[in-house]
Amino acid sequence: MEGCDSMSDAITRLKQEAVEGARINQLSEIDASGSYYNEGIGKDGPFDRLREECGVFGVFGYGDAAALTYYGLHTLQHRGEESCGICASDGNEFAYHRGMGLVKEVFDKDRLMSMKGERAIGHVRYSTSGDSRLANAQPLVFKTRDGELSVATNGNIVNAPAIRRELEKKGSIFQTTSDTEVIAHLIARSDADLVTAAKEALRQLVGGFAFLIMTNERLLVASDSHGLRPISMGRIGDAYIFSSETCALDAVGAEFIRAIEPGELLVFDAMGFRSERFASVERRALCAMEFIYFARPDSHMHDVNLHTARKRMGKELAKESFVEADIVSGVPDSSISAAIGYAEQAGIPYEMGMIKSKYSGRTFIQPSQELREQGVKMKLSAVRSVVEGKRVVLIDDSIVRGTTSRRIVTMLREAGATEVHLRIASPPFKYPCFYGIDTPDTSDLIASNHSVEEICKIVGADSLAFLSKEGTVQAIGGSFTQEKNNGLCMACFDKDYPTEHIPLSKIASETVC
């Protein structure tokens, strides 16, 4: 099997690397920039977009669990494109594989057929903590004195570096730079049974996370005490399925049962399953950006369909910031639903003013401004026959640095648009996320350093308006209207972080807008 070392093998291997100097250099880079993960490591490639850290998918009690997990991960590919992996168990041993790239590139029929078992966990990753390399690809797999252990998570553990330092002082040797590895060490060092050890470990973690933890006997599913990162449970016959989004449950033919509750730990074994708690439900705070941008429009969260929520955001945006125009268009693909809603509310025709290429591939390195501009044109193009001579209301879901907005506005003008009125279906994004979204440092967030009027001039639009925070919350709606912000985390808009231990010194204390 690949990627799995016993503790003694790991110690020997790491000592050899230390002699060569490789491991020493690597460890010195783990936390060089600060004491917490996700400090704005994202780069300004051809698209100035926020990126989700990852997605998870799990299966318990299905005959061909690895193949089912493959299809689930394929549906969740939008949540992570850098690496992916699957670990399956037949009750006696693990079979697993991880690789860099897309799900369809990493797995083939022969690989999946070799991974036997009725339970499996899978992962797609885009790194916000730890390097983008195979060692950090998940699920992480370990051998402990009590047997094999595999872990996959969606989210970020804010206090992982502090826990890591304490564990290293006690002799733990880490094989990756991923924050996910800390929970494996906490479990492995415990003298308690797996379930008790997992509860003790989860209570030490601060951040937003949805965990899948598997041994040859059990599968555990856990959500942080605020429910910051989504995870839902479904069923196919007697088998149970878990996914970051319900769209993957639909894709494999699973019936949706419910979302995992904040602070809940589900335990699946030969006796069936039971629900336990490792923490009480604190302030419920599911990430609002799931509704605004990340999740697929056919997914459901908080009993709300994402397409419907985004249409309502567009309608609310039209009520708050109507402007006379000839057509409404959306930046594909995540802004289309909001654009349709805006058009319906405003009584202005919706037109496909921009086209997104689905075959342009992934672009990671853009060595010059000229090539960055070309990267945008490869993926987005304006439809001249639609926008020429027209006053265009352009709907987008968010503005991060503003670079892409400027390029798109320029693109529309070059295609003959006489006016471009930019409308954003979310509040100004002013503060970084520490819970599993790759966001820039505050100094790079355009809304944290410029007023709306200044941003409008920077991006070159004729007018600019954002959806209000109140309008966003109202439009999303959901099942938790009695809770703060309808049970949503809005910290990237209002700096009201639901957890402690957020490094506020890294966030601008004042903004100009």
Beta-carbon count within 10 A of 183 CB: 26
What is the per-residue pLDDT for 370?
52
Query: What does pTM read for this prediction?
Result: 0.85
Alpha carbon 52 to its chain's center: 3
Residue 336 located in a structural domain = yes
Q: Which of 224, 251, 283 is the last residue of a domain?
A: 283
* 441 belongs to an annotated ligand binding site: no
Count of domains forming the chain: 2
Question: What is the rounded (10 degree) CA torsion for 106, 41, 156, 51?
Answer: -60
State whether 329 and 235 are in the same domain.
no
State whether 272 and 317 are in the same domain.
no
> Smallest Cα–Cα separation from 390: which of 357, 364, 423, 353?
353
* 397 belongs to an annotated ligand binding site: yes
Give the span between the Cα atoms of 237 and 248, in whole angstroms: 16
Residue 106's domain comprises 51-283
Residue 494 located in a structural domain = no
> Smallest Cα–Cα separation from 446: which of 454, 436, 438?
454
Tokens matching residue 482: 């009695």
Give the span between the Cα atoms of 245 and 488, in whole angstroms: 16
Q: How far is CA 496 from CA 18, 207, 435, 488, 489, in A?
A: 43, 14, 13, 11, 8
Residue 38 located in a structural domain = no
110 Cβ contact partners less than 8 Å away, ≥ 6 residues apart: none
The three-state DSSP-derived secondary structure of 283-325 is CCCEEHHHHHHHCCCCCEECCEEHHHHHHHHHHHHHHHCCCCC
State whether 310 and 275 are in the same domain.
no
* 334 belongs to an annotated ligand binding site: yes
Residue 18 located in a structural domain = no
Residue 496 located in a structural domain = no
Beta-carbon count within 10 A of 509 CB: 8
State whether 236 and 165 are in the same domain.
yes
State whether 403 and 341 are in the same domain.
yes
State whether 203 and 77 are in the same domain.
yes
State whether 251 and 346 are in the same domain.
no
| CATH code of 157's domain | 3.60.20.10
Give the span between the Cα atoms of 318 and 343, in whole angstroms: 8
* 287 belongs to an annotated ligand binding site: yes
CB 177 within 8 A of CB 136: yes
- Strands in 94-100's sheet, in edge-to-edge order, are 94-100, 83-89, 119-125, 54-60, 239-243, 232-236, 255-259
E-strand stretches of 171-218: 207-214
**Using CB atoms within 10 A of its CB, is residue 410 exposed (0-12), middle (13-18) or buried (19+)?**
middle
State whether 141 and 225 are in the same domain.
yes
Count of positions (residues) in the chain:
513
pLDDT tens sequence for the chain (513 residues)? 444 444 344 333 333 433 333 332 332 222 222 333 333 333 444 345 665 569 999 999 999 999 999 999 999 999 998 899 999 999 999 999 999 999 999 999 999 999 999 999 999 998 544 456 788 899 999 998 889 999 999 999 999 999 999 999 998 889 888 889 999 999 999 999 999 999 999 999 999 999 999 999 999 999 999 999 999 999 999 999 999 999 999 999 999 999 999 999 999 999 999 999 999 988 999 999 999 999 999 999 999 999 999 999 999 999 999 999 999 999 998 899 999 999 999 999 999 999 988 765 444 333 344 544 555 666 889 999 999 999 999 999 999 999 999 999 999 999 999 999 999 999 999 999 889 887 767 888 999 999 999 999 999 999 999 999 999 999 999 999 999 999 999 999 999 999 987 665 555 443 333
State whether 265 and 382 are in the same domain.
no
CB 448 within 8 A of CB 508: yes
State whether 108 and 245 are in the same domain.
yes
Which of the residues 54, 84, 87, 247 is marked catalytic?
A: 54
Residue 493 located in a structural domain = no
> Smallest Cα–Cα separation from 329: which of 382, 393, 385, 384?
393
CB 379 within 8 A of CB 49: no
> Smallest Cα–Cα separation from 138: which of 91, 183, 86, 90?
86
> DSSP of 109-139, one letter per residue?
HHHHHT--BSEEEEEEE--SSS-SSGGG-SS
Q: Which of 283, 315, 336 is the last residue of a domain?
A: 283
CA torsion through residues 220, 161, 262, 246, sign: negative
State whether 322 and 205 are in the same domain.
no
* 4 belongs to an annotated ligand binding site: no
* 269 belongs to an annotated ligand binding site: no
State whether 315 and 275 are in the same domain.
no
Residue 27 located in a structural domain = no
What is the per-residue pLDDT for 19?
34
| CATH code of 401's domain | 3.40.50.2020
E-strand stretches of 363-497: 380-382, 391-396, 419-424, 437-438, 463-466, 488-489
CB 407 within 8 A of CB 373: yes
84 is catalytic: no
Residue 476 located in a structural domain = yes
